[in-house]
Every structure is written in C-alpha cells, then in structure tokens.
Copies of this chain bind each other. A is one copy, B any other.
Amino acid sequence: MSTTTAEPKGAAAQDGGGIHRFPDSQPLRLDSGAVLAPLEIAYKTYGELNEAKSNAILVCHALTGDQHVASVHPVTGKSGWWERVVGPDRPLDPGRYFIICTNVVGGCMGSTGPASINPETGKVFGLTFPVITIADMVRAQAMLVEALGIETLFAVIGGSMGGMQVLQWAADYPDRLFSAVCVAGAARHSAQNIAFHEVGRQAIMADPDWKSGAYDAAGVRPEKGLAVARMAAHITYLSEAALQRKFGRELQRDGLSWGFDADFQVESYLRHQGASFVDRFDANSYLYITRAMDYFDMPGAYGGVLANAFVKSRHVRFCVLSFSSDWLYPTAESRDVVRALSAAGCRASFVEIESDKGHDAFLLDEPQLDLALRGFFASAAQLRGL
C-alpha cells in the first residue's frame, strides 16, 4: 500500500557524493604492477552515516553500470539502475543505511579510466591506460571507503560484475566487512564468458573510428562497433524464454519488408539497445572492463581452491543469489561459490530465484529478489544493532 501523506522516510532525498581525488601520495597500485596517480573516484551516496559509522553499504555496479544506482542518470535522464533495491521502502532504504556506490576504476562516469588524462603525457590515456582487474576496482573502492571515514562496511552488495567485486572484497578486506551479498555472480569467467566478451572487443576494434584506441584525439568515436558489442552482449543478458515471451516473431509493421530493415521487433529492440548505449558509454572503458572480468579467476588466484579465498571471512555473513534462467552466470557458478564458502567455514545463505528473465533478472521486477534481500538485511541489521 502506498500513501501520499506519509512523512519522507529520512534521508532518502539527501544524496551526496562527487569525485574524490586522491593525491599523488596515495596512488592506486594495480595488479599489473602499474600505478595510477592521481586517482579519482566518482561516487554517489544516499542517506546518512550514523554516529557509530556502522550502517554503510557499498553497492558495486555491473559492466556497464555506474555510480547512479538510485538517482537520475545525468546523461540519459533515466532513473537509477537499481531503484528496485535502493530507495525509500526498498530493501536498501537510505532512511536506514548510508549507501555508497562508486564508478569503478576504468569506468567512464568520472572515475579514472582510459578516457582520463594521462598525467605523464597530458593527453587522453586511450590504450596507454593500464589493464585493470576486479581486485584493482575493489582496492580503489576500499580507498574511498576509508577516505569517507568508514572502518567497516555493514554490507557490500552487487550483481553480475558487482557480485565478483563482492567476492573479491570478502577475500581482500574481510576485516572491513560485516556482510556480503553476491547476486548473479561468479568466482571466475568461463570460456563462454570470455568468448562473448572477445566478440564485443573485436567489434569495437574492427571499427575504423576506434583508431587503435586514440579516437578521442581524432575527434571520432567507434559508435558502430560499440553498438554491435552491446547488441551481442545484450542477448546474453536475456533468456531465450524472455525473448520469446517479449518479442516472439512479432513484426514491426504489417508484413515483412523483404529487405534488411528491422522487420522483427526483437531486431528493432536490439538496434535500440546498441544505439542508446553509445550515448552513455566509452568504447575503451568497455574494452578495459570486459578485460578485467575475463581476467577474474578467484580459484586460480588461490591455488585452484576457491575456499582458500574465504578462510579469513568466517565472521562475514554471506548471501548468494542466482536466477534459474541465467545462462551467463548460471546457478552452478553460484553453487560453486556457496560450496567454497561452506568449505571455508563461512555462513552463507543461498537462494536460487525461479525466474525466466535470464541474467537481467537482477535488475528487473523480481519480488523474490526483494524478499530474499529484505530477509537477509533484516537479520543482518538486527545482529549489527541497526
């Protein structure tokens, strides 16, 4: 039941954030051995940090997400990408929690990335930007959380690549976590995951306007290549059943065109996905972030035994969620994570949510996801004394 007379639920509207610039004396040391300095991290916050600094939640975004988790996107004008989860009366209510979302390093919404100025040359990084990893993204987030004066996060939560960051947080900063929620994630990228990303990268690099990554200096953008990359990726976010239910073989017009116009609604939808994506995303960022995901291999980093990643995380309360029709990061990947957590002696709750919406279900209207998150956070908040 919604009411129109209810008092505003606390600090929901008071979102903050900006760009945090770390001085050269606080560089980001990357897994590759390279160093980023100065480092800038763009972030948004919602709600207020309580006096005990015990109510902070870090939300980690997916491949093409950004810090605008619950507020209007400055480029597209669309609402935040996870307003189903973050917002007044939502599972993560800014009236109760202090919610932080950062743009990942390598991104294109304000954090240092390939479109930033390389201080050594005074020119845009382009391909001189160092390759980054999921652990680098997490390291930068940890620096920001520390800069905000927060010793321990009440929770870190994310879906897809955000879920990978959650697992990396648990491995690298267990002492700074109370709970961790990994939605539709995986502990490493499979051959098929890598293959789809490689198609997207090749589509970008095949565009002559990519210019070996130096398109900014040439005053062009590889929009066609990036659009194709997005289209290919978008199919992997949906299940076959969802595509069939949503579009089937429905036509755009009466009858076929007998040509190469978008005859089918699914074609038109995909073209729109591609075309609108290039307005808000940078092609080189797409290369770097997909690379980070492909390099992600937590079992590999821990001698082939994923459980070893979590032996210091026994005090962390884990929640792992997957979707039954997700074929990009299937439930089996989440089960592997849960098994490793159990083997490491961690407490982990696991729910496979029945849904035919595919990987994208984590962003969509899924009441079971709401319920699972509400239940988990209610219990964790009680334990945390919130």
Interface residues, chain A, with chain B CB atoms under 8 Å away: 32, 127, 130-131, 188-192, 194-196, 198-199, 201-203, 205-208, 224-225, 227-228, 231-232, 235, 238, 240, 243-244, 246-249, 256, 258-260, 262-264, 266-267, 270-271, 274, 287, 291, 294-295, 297, 300, 327, 330
Contacts and interface: CB of A to CB of B under 8 A. Distances in A.
B131 A192 contact: no
Nearest to A131: B258
Contacts of A243: 190-192, 195
Interface of A is mostly: helix
Contact of A198 (B194, B231, B246, B249): B231
Contacts of A297: 249
Contact of A206 (B198, B228, B294): B228
Nearest to A32: B258
A276 to B, nearest CB: 14
Contacts of A271: 198, 202
- Give the residue among A201, A258, A297 with the most B Cβ atoms within 10 A: A258
30 contacts: A130-B258, A131-B258, A131-B259, A188-B249, A189-B249, A190-B240, A191-B240, A191-B243, A191-B246, A191-B248, A191-B249, A191-B264, A192-B235, A192-B240, A192-B243, A194-B266, A195-B267, A198-B264, A198-B266, A199-B228, A202-B227, A202-B228, A202-B271, A205-B260, A206-B224, A206-B227, A206-B228, A249-B297, A256-B295, A260-B291
